[in-house]
Amino acid sequence: MSLTREGFDLCYNSRDQRELQSLVELAGGIPSKEEYTKKWLLKNIKNVEACITGWGSIPFDNEVIDEARKLKILFHTAGSIRGLYDKAVKRNIRMVSNAAINAIPVAEFALGVILSGLKGVYHYQERFKKEGRRAWERDISISPGYYGTSVGIISLGNVGRKLLKLLQNFDFNLLVYSNHLSEDEADRLNIKKVNLDELISQSDAVVLCAPNLPKNKHMINAHHFTLMKDNALFINVARGSLVDEAALMNELKKGRITAFLDVTNPEPPQDKHPFYTLPNCILTPHVAGSFGGECYRLGRATLSEVKRYLKGESLKNELSSEEFFYRA
């Protein structure tokens, strides 16, 4: 168990903790935050066949991998494993990630933002704070509603696909930019596959769900923001580094579009950054993913995978080497 007691309690409720401990022996027990060091990990990883990790786990670098001679599989309670397991790929150690599980609240969060944004909730609140009762007037320009409105999803990874499924319950025109979507699948899903410029220029709400890969740095830049419709929404639930935030800030100052940013680069933005005060920029402190009681879903998913592994069954969330480099 390469998790601290705090991390274990965060993601595993008491029932799941008891069940896990009845199924496997946890080498070294569950360390406190003070006990959990690389020295502790090196000592306790020597004879284990499987290891459970999560947020805050010590990376499995060459030193750890060399010591973990009997290690066959890693179960990651959280989502992204890039930077944690990179060296394990060379040893062909199997890897299980909860990225698909963590994508559930992210997609649900994005849906909530789309629905409230297209109804103008945040703009109306700004007006009421400034003008009170005098602001009690509907404005079609900031609350176009849902029917026939276009929503664009950038990338169909775990979050994008779950969001797409949720959006299909509404009367949206759905546009998708993805290199991993065929025309046949687009037809089957009743969505429109488009290039990035088309998606951004045609959408009333643009949702960025792309993976945090070096090639995607600033994939959304000044060119794209100028293409956006007046009063369109830009929603980032991916990573701040994927966006040229200076260009976004300049566009927001024009008052044309609204941004919903759950992620920024860096996090949090520097003191006195315009993102804090621009009325058309709504910030949340990276809460779209599993948070609070939602974290128990991650622990339950890992427990289920451990049980499948012990029975010799196929695993639902195991990553292939290709998926590791694309989705991790």
Q: Are residues 54 and 188 in the same domain?
A: no
Q: How does pLDDT run across 235-293, given as a tens digit for each residue?
A: 999 999 999 999 999 999 999 999 999 999 999 999 999 999 999 999 999 999 999 99
119 pLDDT above the threshold of 60: yes
Give the pLDDT mean for 214-226. 97
pLDDT value for 80:
81
Give the pLDDT mean for 137-154. 94
- The CATH number that applies at residue 72 is 3.40.50.720
Q: Are residues 85 and 115 in the same domain?
A: no
Give the pLDDT mean for 101-123. 97
Catalytic residue among 5, 82, 286, 308: 286
pLDDT band at 91 (very low <50, low <70, confident <90, very high): confident
What total number of domains does the chain contain? 2
Q: Are residues 251 and 268 in the same domain?
A: yes
pLDDT value for 67:
95
Over pLDDT 70: what percentage of the chain? 98
pLDDT value for 89:
78
Q: Are residues 67 and 170 in the same domain?
A: no
pLDDT value for 84:
84
pLDDT value for 327:
45
Q: How does pLDDT run across 160-195, given as a tens digit for each residue?
A: 999 999 999 999 999 999 999 999 999 999 999 999
Q: Are residues 120 and 93 in the same domain?
A: no
Q: Are residues 265 and 132 in the same domain?
A: yes
Catalytic residue among 35, 49, 131, 267: 267
Q: Are residues 138 and 261 in the same domain?
A: yes
Q: Are residues 196 and 230 in the same domain?
A: yes
Q: Are residues 84 and 203 in the same domain?
A: no
Edge-to-edge order in the sheet of strand 281-283: 192-193, 173-177, 150-154, 205-208, 233-236, 258-261, 281-283
pLDDT value for 79:
86
Q: Are residues 39 and 66 in the same domain?
A: yes
Q: Are residues 93 and 152 in the same domain?
A: no
101 pLDDT above the threshold of 70: yes
pLDDT value for 328:
38
pLDDT value for 90:
76
pLDDT value for 93:
92
Q: Are residues 224 and 314 in the same domain?
A: no
Query: Domain containing 299: what range?
Result: 5-97+292-327
Catalytic-residue membership of 267: yes
Catalytic residue among 127, 239, 300, 327: 239
Q: How does pLDDT run across 36-89, given as a tens digit for each residue?
A: 999 999 999 999 999 999 999 999 999 999 999 999 999 999 988 877 887 787
The model carries a pTM of 0.93
